[in-house]
Amino acid sequence: MRNAKISIVGAGVMGEAMIKTLLKSGYKEEQICIVEKRPERVAQLKDRYGITHEGIDNCEICVLTVKPQDFSSTQIALENVENALVVSLMAGIRLEKIESSLSETNRVVRIMTNTPITMGEGMSVASIGSRATNEDSAWIGEVFRNSGEVLFIDENLMDSVTSISGSGPAYFFAFVEALTNAASSLGLSPQDSELLVRQTFVGSAKMLNERNESSTILKREVTSPGGTTEAALKVFEEMKFQEIIDSAVSAARAQAAQLSDKY
């Protein structure tokens, strides 16, 4: 599939992230085509990445990054890509629906990724359709590992994944926001508060990633008996921090399931 022609259908944030990922994976500008209804966005991406082609005809791989409500209008264009591997990044639309809307010669893979993919640090989770091949799975793993990590799961777990890694960046940013506000309430300037919190999280994430130890062990290392960290963590426990997280994730999962039923 190294010489494949690849069409990106939908040139929003995720569409652009896919262009960057493909280029990082060694694909050439002339192998990538853009399908986008906004001419100014097409011009912007062509100028930014050196893409020269538009359209979907005769592509071997078609990546759908459109909004789920736009899938019905996209199906018309997909009639011209029989035999193509269709990679769906559309939230909420199940494999069965996508497969039933396409030719029997199309193979389909569904992927849930998150916004850190735009920084090359995404968490992408793939479910393989009934007609997809081992070669298709290998291609997904090879390409998406150039923009972060990849996990393959059964589709019945996709709503759970959405509630963790799909929505997870917002949980992280919410905690950063809350801790920054807390720092300001203690008398620090907004600028100093932001720097303290930002670098603390950047450094902590690097420790978690590079030391390859569990968060439980790393938390214990920071927590001295009778110290300040222990005092703060006791408040988390008293305020039922874990229950708050469990409830939030459950609400996100329920909403993901509702959207899947809708589309």
CA dihedral defined by 226, 231, 235, 236, rounded to 10 degrees? -90
Are 227 and 122 in a shared domain?
Answer: no
Taking residues 205-232, report their average pLDDT: 96
Using a 10 angstrom Cβ sphere, with 0-12 exposed, 13-18 middle and 19 or more buried, the burial of residue 235 is exposed
Bridge partners (DSSP) of residue 126 are 111, 152
Are 177 and 223 in a shared domain?
Answer: yes
Residue 220 belongs to a domain with what CATH number?
1.10.3730.10
Q: Are 47 and 19 in contact (CB under 8 A)?
A: no
Q: What's the gap between Cα 237 and its chain centre?
A: 31
Q: Which amino acid is at 157?
A: L
Sorting pLDDT into bands at 50, 70 and 90, what band is 190?
A: very high
Q: What is the pLDDT of residue 239?
A: 97
Taking residues 249-254, report their average pLDDT: 96
Domain boundary among 126, 154, 182: 154
Q: How far apart are CA 48 and CA 5, in angstroms?
A: 20
**Which residue segment(s) compose the domain that 74 sits in?**
6-154
pLDDT in tens, 78-107: 777 888 999 999 988 999 999 998 989 999
The total domain count for the chain is 2
Domain boundary among 131, 154, 177: 154
Check whether 140 has a pLDDT greater than 90: yes
Are 136 and 201 in a shared domain?
Answer: no
Taking residues 207-223, report their average pLDDT: 95
Are 117 and 207 in a shared domain?
Answer: no
Residue 13 belongs to a domain with what CATH number?
3.40.50.720
Helix (H, G, I), strand (E, B) or coil at 170: helix
Asked, for residue 204, whether it belongs to a domain, the answer is yes
Q: What is the pLDDT of residue 121?
A: 96
Burial readout 192-209 (b: 16 or more C-beta within 10 A, e: otherwise): ebbeebeeeeeeeeeeee
Check whether 174 has a pLDDT greater than 90: yes
Q: What is the pLDDT of residue 261?
A: 83
Sorting pLDDT into bands at 50, 70 and 90, what band is 213?
A: very high
Taking residues 247-253, report their average pLDDT: 97
Are 146 and 43 in a shared domain?
Answer: yes
pLDDT in tens, 52-87: 888 888 899 999 999 888 887 777 677 778 889 999
Asked, for residue 208, whether it belongs to a domain, the answer is yes
Reported pTM: 0.90
Asked, for residue 1, whether it belongs to a domain, the answer is no
Are 128 and 255 in a shared domain?
Answer: no
